[in-house]
Amino acid sequence: MTLKIDRCSVPGGALATPWFVRQAHAAAGEAREKAVRLDIHIHLFGKGDGPSGCRLSPTITESPNFQILEKLLRLRERAKTVDEGYVLALAEHIQHSGLEKGLILAQDAVYDRRGEPDWARTPFYVPNDYLFQVVARYPEWMLPGVSINPDRKDALTELERCVEKGACALKIHPPIQGVDLADKKHIKFFQRCAALKAVVLVHTGHEHSSPIIDVGLANPRKLELALDHGCTVVACHCGTGRQGDYPDMLPDFVAMTRQYQNLWGDTSVLGGYKRSRDFLRLLADKPAWERLLHGSDFPFPAIPMAFAETIGTVEALRLQALPNLIQQDYALKEALGIGRASAERAARLLMHLRKE
């Protein structure tokens, strides 16, 4: 909003001040309404029962959690394949979430010492090309977040290719993919990520939804090599875990927010019951709070009732009844005082780097 001031329309100093205040508030409100809110952590999944190229291990597909999720999202009601049913569910939840954008994430494989895919040790896989196909169907709502395991022999080539195709970020999941991000052999990869302004999202903290290779690979301290070489890094989950998980990695993330200006954290999965304690610990630390980006970790649901003591039972019950999982997660974080600020911050980070 541009204010055009006619001096003759302002009768005097006594009346001018309230008029200016009203106009300034209106301008600020208009700017706030136009601010983009983004969910920086949304998963693309598939069983491979369509032409997606996706893979899910029997350990995952036969688990009770997967069966519940399949019914919750009505995957088999929506389409003939789980792959297509998930895409339709994903699009519906984003479009009716109240958020303007979502970063959709692929998932790379585990790689052996030769840099070749090790399918026997890969619990789930979502190809980058399939990600681009899905995002192209919903360009107004979705941004592509590819996945590139730096252990693959063509990691640099794949990075260049994906950025050329429009990727603004990439995801690495060290404990699942078995990659040590502190290994100096990855320096060239991180340097190229920094040069291309590709945001690097990395799983940190404990993992419970998929088989892991080494929990130690998820320590936030493993990010220092990438940070030292200029990467903008998002520590997904901020090194959190469930009560009783060992070691406690959250203090490492918090300490690193004081050390690195190019380090961020996301709030994905923190709205769940078992990480509620760590989420409240994180929100109590103001410098760390200011580095948080909004992420839902869809399709994994939030549990607003886990925060009833903090936001009140009535509000928690209201949020628990919301059927849209992305909207529910965002609304919970709004109730906790972090939602809008972190969602706008996430959008600014990605959009700014895309424009540079």
pLDDT in tens, 10-52: 333 333 344 344 454 544 444 444 799 999 999 999 999 999 9
Contact predicate 256/263, CB 8 Å: yes
207 CB-near residues (< 8 Å, 6+ apart):
173, 175, 176, 215, 218
pLDDT at 300: 94
What are the pLDDT digits (tens) for 335-347? 999 999 999 999 9
Mean pLDDT of 206-220: 94
Distance (Å, rounded) from C-alpha 169 to C-alpha 113? 25
Mean pLDDT of 293-321: 98
pTM of the model: 0.89
Reported in sequence order, the residue ranges of the chain that DSSP labels E, i.e. its strands, are 38-43, 55-56, 101-105, 124-125, 142-147, 169-172, 199-203, 233-236, 263-266, 292-293
Asked whether the predicted pLDDT for residue 241 surpasses 80, the reply is yes
What are the pLDDT digits (tens) for 67-84? 999 999 999 999 999 999
pLDDT at 9: 33
Asked whether the predicted pLDDT for residue 350 surpasses 90, the reply is yes
The burial class, CB within 10 Å (0-12 / 13-18 / 19+), for 150 is buried
Tokens (6 digits) for 38:
């983004």
Asked whether the predicted pLDDT for residue 128 surpasses 90, the reply is yes
Distance (Å, rounded) from C-alpha 23 to C-alpha 33? 15
Mapped to the 3 state alphabet, what secondary structure does 49-81 carry? Answer: CCCCCCEECHHHHCCHHHHHHHHHCCHHHHCCC
Q: What percent of the chain has pLDDT over 70?
A: 89
Residues forming a β-bridge with 142: 102
Checking DSSP bridges between strand 233-236 and strand 199-203, what pairing results, if any? Answer: parallel
Mean pLDDT of 298-320: 97
Mean pLDDT of 94-100: 97
Asked whether the predicted pLDDT for residue 134 surpasses 70, the reply is yes
Closest CA to 208 of 58, 63, 306: 63
Distances 244 to 248, 274, 291, 294, 300 between C-alpha atoms, Å: 9, 10, 25, 25, 21
pLDDT at 353: 65
Of 201 and 24, more confident: 201
Mean pLDDT of 247-254: 98
pLDDT at 355: 59
Residues forming a β-bridge with 242: none
Tokens (6 digits) for 265:
């954290």
Rounded mean pLDDT of the chain? 91
Asked whether the predicted pLDDT for residue 184 surpasses 70, the reply is yes
Helix axes 313-320, 325-335, angle to 10 degrees: 160
Pick the CATH number of 38-355 from 3.40.50.2300, 3.40.50.2030, 3.40.50.300, 3.20.20.140: 3.20.20.140
pLDDT at 209: 86
pLDDT at 352: 72
Asked whether the predicted pLDDT for residue 186 surpasses 60, the reply is yes
pLDDT at 354: 60
Contact predicate 236/204, CB 8 Å: yes
Domain ranges of the chain: 38-355
End-to-end Cα separation, the chain, in angstroms: 25
